[in-house]
Amino acid sequence: MDSLHYSKRLEDDGVILMPFVIENRFINGVKKEYDQLYDTVTNTDIPKTEPIIVFWKHVEGEQKKIVTFTEMPSLWNMINDCIVPTLREKLGKVAERLQLLETIIFNKPPKISNTLHWHQDVAYFPLKPNNQIAVWFPLEIVTKERGAMTYAIGSHKQGIRGSVNLHTNVSFDNEDRPLIPKNPEDAGFKVKTMEMTPNDMLVHNGYTWHTTGPNTVENYLRTGISVRFITDEAVFDPRPGQGAAFTKQVEINPGEIFKGKPFPIM
């Protein structure tokens, strides 16, 4: 599929699945480093001078852990040598300007992990304009029972929605934006679960509604990595309910151009 087709599909559906775009050498390197760090990382401090990787276990009460790319160089190489070139090749103009916002490794241990409720990423981001694309790929095969990503197709066209606590689905205090319906299918959206292998890559628009269920498969860890990029120059525009980890790295004032060492242009 050429870049026009991919970018048109992203424009129409708000999400695209790109099969077989990640070589095993990238996945194997990241998996090896992640396995080594997984049990040992305890840091919760957020550095102000470099991009971060958030380790987020989907178990109620778990605290997010923070590592840097110095500790996970394989992921930095993968972003530079695989993800960014793939986005540019497959999406053309859409991916011309990619400013790294944050990287999160979502982990769902078997049986005890929970649902991450319907949300759109930009609801949590203090940016204007709020134009973002996110890449997501798993480190293992994902199926519906293993917590695959599920999307409401075309929902990005509905504009900004309110942010909720992703574990409880309760909206934050002072949230006055309309919320995503509890079941987008009831609201007329086609809902699609993206079963995939670690060689595949999802790209979604920051406005597209998505959710993941629990990982119900015994002895099977589900790890998903999301790398988010801002695609237009933006200004810092904070409001309540925007507690993404990277917001603690921001050292500019509201209304100023969003920039800083943690947010490099790739």
Ligand X SMILES: O=C(O)CCC(=O)C(=O)O
Q: Which residues of the shown chain bind ligand X in the complex (CB under 6 A)?
A: 106, 116, 121, 134, 136, 147, 210, 212, 224, 226
C-alpha–C-alpha distance, residues 252 and 236, integer Å:
7
Sole residue written with tokens 């509905």? 158
Please report the DSSP string for 47-111 in residue order.
Answer: -SSS-EEEEEE-STTPPPEEEETTT-HHHHHHIIIIIHHHHHHHHGGGGSS-EEEEEEEEEE-TT
Shortest distance, position 256 Cβ to ligand X, whole Å: 26
Shortest distance, position 86 Cβ to ligand X, whole Å: 17
Sole residue written with tokens 């087709």? 5
Shortest distance, position 149 Cβ to ligand X, whole Å: 6
Q: Which is nearer to ligand X, 14 or 147 (CB)?
A: 147
Q: Which is nearer to ligand X, 196 or 250 (CB)?
A: 196
Q: Which is nearer to ligand X, 74 or 205 (CB)?
A: 205
Please give the single-letter amino acid code of residue 163.
S
Shortest distance, position 138 Cβ to ligand X, whole Å: 8
Shortest distance, position 146 Cβ to ligand X, whole Å: 10
Whether 84 and 193 have beta carbons less than 8 Å apart is answered as no
Whether 102 and 54 have beta carbons less than 8 Å apart is answered as yes
Q: Which is nearer to ligand X, 30 or 134 (CB)?
A: 134
Q: Which is nearer to ligand X, 3 or 191 (CB)?
A: 191
Q: Which is nearer to ligand X, 213 or 262 (CB)?
A: 213
C-alpha–C-alpha distance, residues 218 and 110, integer Å:
6
Shortest distance, position 115 Cβ to ligand X, whole Å: 9
Which two three-digit tokens encode residue 78?
């993968």
Whether 42 and 151 have beta carbons less than 8 Å apart is answered as no
C-alpha–C-alpha distance, residues 259 and 251, integer Å:
9
